[in-house]
Amino acid sequence: MCAGWQIAGWERVRRQQEQLRAYFQPAGAYAVSATEFIARQRARFGRVVGVLIRQGDYMTWQNGRFGYPTENYVEWMKQVLDLEGGGLGFVIASDTVQDPARFAGVPHVFSNGSANAGGPAIASFAELAGCDLVMGPPSTFSAMAAFAGGKPLWPMYARGQVMSRNQILHDALLDAARDPVYSFVVR
Domain boundaries, the chain: 11-184
- Sheet strand arrangement including 47-53: 108-110, 88-94, 47-53, 133-136, 153-155
pLDDT digits (tens, 9 = 90+) for 109-125: 999 999 999 999 999 99
**Cβ distance 177 to 186 under 8 Å?**
yes
* Whether residue 102 has pLDDT greater than 90: yes
* Whether residue 152 has pLDDT greater than 90: yes
At position 59, the amino acid (one-letter code) is: M
The pLDDT of residue 125 is 94
Give me the CATH code for the 11-184 domain, please. Answer: 3.40.50
The pLDDT of residue 64 is 94
pTM over 0.75: yes
The pLDDT of residue 7 is 63
The pLDDT of residue 25 is 72
**Cβ distance 118 to 138 under 8 Å?**
no
**Higher-scoring residue by pLDDT: 98, 177:** 98
